[in-house]
Structure 1
Amino acid sequence: MVVSLILMMSMGPISSAQIGILPSVEITCDDPGPVEVWPGATRTTIVYCTLENPSIHSESVEIGTESEESDFQFAAPQTVTIGAGQEMDIQIIIRVPELFAAGTYSANVTAKVTEANGIDVTAITSTEEDSVSFEVMKYGSCEVMVGQGGGAIEAGDPVVFAASFVCEANAEFSIGYSLVMIDEVAMSSIWPSGFEDQSAPCQFQVQATGGGGNCQFQIATPSNLANSWSGCVVLIDDDGDGDGFGSSPPSSCNTNYPSLGVDIEPQGLSLVSIGLDSNSSVSELLMDNKELVGGGVGGLVLLLSLILVLRRRSRSYDEEWEED
């Protein structure tokens, strides 16, 4: 057999089609699953391949990997030994960089017989290969920073605040945000009666390299609110991860969603309730109620007069006691 191997080496490289006494290997691989590349993901996929040795020799086979994408990393066995007429399954792990551009990519897995029965046959064997393709999934997410606003507000006054959005993505996508009011007592995201979202649409386009935007929000509150209302305003995205599906609104203010606490109090003593509007003055109010004001001033003068008389009488009594 050693002699036959030496004779084969003198014949030059041979293909895997020449089977039997000639060293050869066949390789077949299945396309791997998609790769998620969001921060914190494994960013890996596994290629399953089968190596077959159709010859009568025990072979050492060298495994290779390659791709047009230089940023891909591969983990695969360097060399395997396959018995005569046997098969062997191997796994190759492909790792993709974080936030790598979404799309379909390919990779090649190669196999070459380097030894047959311990004899170097590199010169007479060819490299066999199989190509696989896989998908890098789309990803997009935005961090929301809610500005100042909320807190204690009188009924009739608007709830006004701004929000900034910083987004990262590996593919271009659109995103929008809307408001939900959650009643802290009822634990409900149904808009309370009399409240109205007067915000302009909050929508923007995020590029594959990332981006962001800013939005202003305003909610009108009812002026005739009978009881205090406590809860929060929550920002809900319509497509927070770029997959075409939005988020479901929470039913509680104890949530990881960006939110703003709000307390609405019924109106107390206001200018309108005492006869003033935005164009009136206190002097006008006094002139319109001069009889009431005059009576109050007269009563005050009478009270001061009584106090003076009592003080004078008290002094006179003190003087009489001193003379006696």
Structure 2
Amino acid sequence: MPVSVSLMDRRQVMKGALVFGGSVLWPGKGQVSASNGSVTLDPNQIALLADTHIGENLGQFVYGTRWPGSPYQDDDHEGVNMAACLRHVIDDIIAQNPCPAHVVINGDCAYSNGRVGEYKEFARMIEPLYAAGITVHVTIGNHDNRTRLWDVIPQLKQEALGVQTTVVELPKANLMLLDSGAGKFAPGQLDWLNQQLDLRPDKPALVFAHFNPLPHQGVRPLKGMRDGEGQALLELMGRHKHAKAFFHGHTHKWKLSQWHQIHVINQPAVGYYFGKGHAHGWVSMKLTDTGASLQLRCVNGKHTEHEKQRKLVWSSV
């Protein structure tokens, strides 16, 4: 059942955030009293983000197309301000009505290596999501540091086996969030996933981790998970009929594919894209009884991919 909550304006949100010993804490929904309207939260609607790459300097402008082996000339690169992109995305999420009840940020929240200052800026930037009553979940990417993330933003800590791993139970699906760290799972994490899949056979399972499971052959090729762990993950999912889709970031490229009956969703970066003209932004996912609809919402509203819908149909095999 959708839930209606009040919204605060940004200045009220900033005043409501509390800082204790370097940790950022937000008021719970029951503490939000001042409002300028209301919005309906849909528990079957999820905002999918990846690769926000927020640094300590929010004014930093980065050329994502400049990397070793880049095919572009020095005077032909494209770049963005990643903080501005995340602000745009968050404003767009909150403007939806109904509004997604959950946001999943699929790794690389930070720009460099998960510095305390980066997470403090990231925390300030996502405050409006909390003020709108939206629950935020994150996975760990190769630019993140889970310990510092937990210290700075304890609300985001979802721990199992000493890493950032959890199950988010929704009315029409279960989201299983894994910690692929620097390209490998923690010891026992795939066994943990297998157990969670065995415990919850009644609903579709959607699995999330930052790294691409198999090598990516795009404008910037990336090997993905190390030591065959991506292949092992997909094979494990393939042994469970209710494991329907795997979502990842890392490649900064919007792409949908399949591995046998499993949908593989390569999420776009919020701001830091590698190829000229690549779509960047976020994905609005609406869960149904038989699948999900995905709408790409680009930061550039004039992009040819903006607002295009894609359908995922759960396999019955």
* TM-score grouping bracket, smaller chain normalisation: under 0.3
Larger proportion of helix: 2
Of structures 1 and 2, the one scoring higher in RCO (CA 8 A, sep 6+) is 2
Larger proportion of strand: 1
The structure having more radius of gyration, on CA atoms, is 1
